[in-house]
Amino acid sequence: MIKKSVILAICALLIVACGGESETVQKGNSDVAAQQRFEWKLVTTWPKNYPGLGTAPEYFAELVERMSKGRLSVKVFGAGQLVPAMEVFDAVSQGTAEMGHGAAYYWKGKVPASVFFTSVPFGLNAQEMNGWLHYGGGLELWREVYEPFNLVPFAGGNSGVQMAGWFNREINSLDDIKGLKMRIPGLGGEVITRAGGESVTIPGGELYTALQTGVIDATEWVAPYNDMAFGFHQIAKYYYYPGWQETGSSLELVVNKQAWESLPDDLQAMVETAARAANQNMLDEYTARNNAALVSLVDEHGVQLRRLPDDVLIELHRISDEVLAELVAKDPQAKRVYESQKAFQKQATDYHEISEEAYYRARRLR
């Protein structure tokens, strides 16, 4: 009996000792994770600190730095500082940089379905886009689409409904688009080409010179707040709306998958939170700044603000439907994303008819 008691006591001591050692190891690992520091590079498709588009990644980086108390430091590089604007996708995919900020439709040559995660002609507005991404399955589809490219995407900003663009000729009918060489990316560019024009994709930092020297005849960029900063009013006469081609353009923050998985859970949560904040902050900024910039363009700089004629919009819409139908017929992945987005747009439109749109109409009543 005495021997059994001694043996039991020794076993109990060993169990306690092992448990204590396990707890110490776990605590030690936790302390190491809490002390580990990460330094990331974030490359963008925009000029450094460009209003709205370029300041969004800076805002994101600042939030992450503050929330993590310096454990995750993100250094932002503008277009061309580390990699060319149109090489952001590849740079992050390959690990040259841990993060990137740009627009998904720039990569449609690599990933046809990517266009749906920025904007498609006559598609979702900003409010609807955020709803689809975060509550309608859009973000899950986006991550599935980017998975083969070693990327984890997040919504990284939204400019709202954009302008149709800057022209040095009046657009009174679809015939006025024929022969027009226009900078317009994404599916909007394909629509312009099919309408008789010629679309090109040029980084934002090169647009002024391209338009000034006649390399292009017209350009769409974003909206008054950004367009005024680039000085397009100095070299183009007519400013057309509405932005049928970009109805609520979502920007992206992409993270290299290995870099993402190297972060502890708390830092991942901070990245997710900062991305959501930057996404909403950009839309707030454009909502606050656009009209003041438009008033200045018209009243101070003599820009002629014009609305695209209804028959032009109707024809562009018809062509857009054709382009989308052909895309989804060729690419099963694009078809899945399109069907998800289209279904969400239908239910959002139905409700907005008696909410947002009904309120706008009521607000104009006197």
Considering the domain architecture, whether residues 116 and 79 belong to the same structural domain is answered as: yes
Rounded Cα distance between 84 and 45, Å, is 8
CB contact at 8 A, 248 and 125:
yes
> Which value, to the nearest 10 degrees, does the dihedral of the CA atoms of residues 113, 326, 315, 106 take?
30
Last residue in a domain, options 287, 317, 336: 287
Apex CA 134: angle with CA 128 and CA 138, to 5°?
A: 80
In tens, the pLDDT along 54-104 reads 999 999 999 999 999 999 999 999 999 999 999 999 999 999 999 999 999
pLDDT of residue 34: 61
Considering the domain architecture, whether residues 179 and 211 belong to the same structural domain is answered as: yes
pLDDT of residue 31: 55
Considering the domain architecture, whether residues 178 and 321 belong to the same structural domain is answered as: yes
Considering the domain architecture, whether residues 97 and 130 belong to the same structural domain is answered as: yes
What 134-140 contacts at long range (C-beta under 8 Å, 24+ apart), as own/partner pairs, is 136/340, 136/344, 137/340, 138/337, 138/340, 138/341, 138/344
Rounded Cα distance between 308 and 243, Å, is 9
Residues sharing a CB contact under 8 Å with residue 69, sequence separation 6 or more, in sequence order: none
pLDDT of residue 35: 77
Single pTM value for the model = 0.89
Nearest to 219 by CA among 287, 290, 168, 289: 168
Considering the domain architecture, whether residues 57 and 123 belong to the same structural domain is answered as: yes
pLDDT of residue 33: 54
3-state secondary structure 172-188: CCHHHHCCCEEECCHHH
Rounded Cα distance between 114 and 155, Å, is 13
Considering the domain architecture, whether residues 172 and 276 belong to the same structural domain is answered as: no
Residues of the chain with pLDDT under 70: 1-34
User: Which CATH number goes with the domain that contains 206?
Assistant: 3.40.190.10
Question: Would you tell me how many other CB atoms lie within 10 Å of the CB of residue 7?
Answer: 10
Domain span including residue 87: 37-157+249-287
3 state DSSP class of 318: helix
β-strand 304-307 against 250-256: which pairing, if any?
Answer: unpaired
In tens, the pLDDT along 296-324 reads 999 999 999 999 999 999 999 999 999 99
Considering the domain architecture, whether residues 148 and 276 belong to the same structural domain is answered as: yes
Considering the domain architecture, whether residues 197 and 315 belong to the same structural domain is answered as: yes
User: Which CATH number goes with the domain that contains 79?
Assistant: 3.40.190.170
* Structure token pair of residue 146: 């980017």
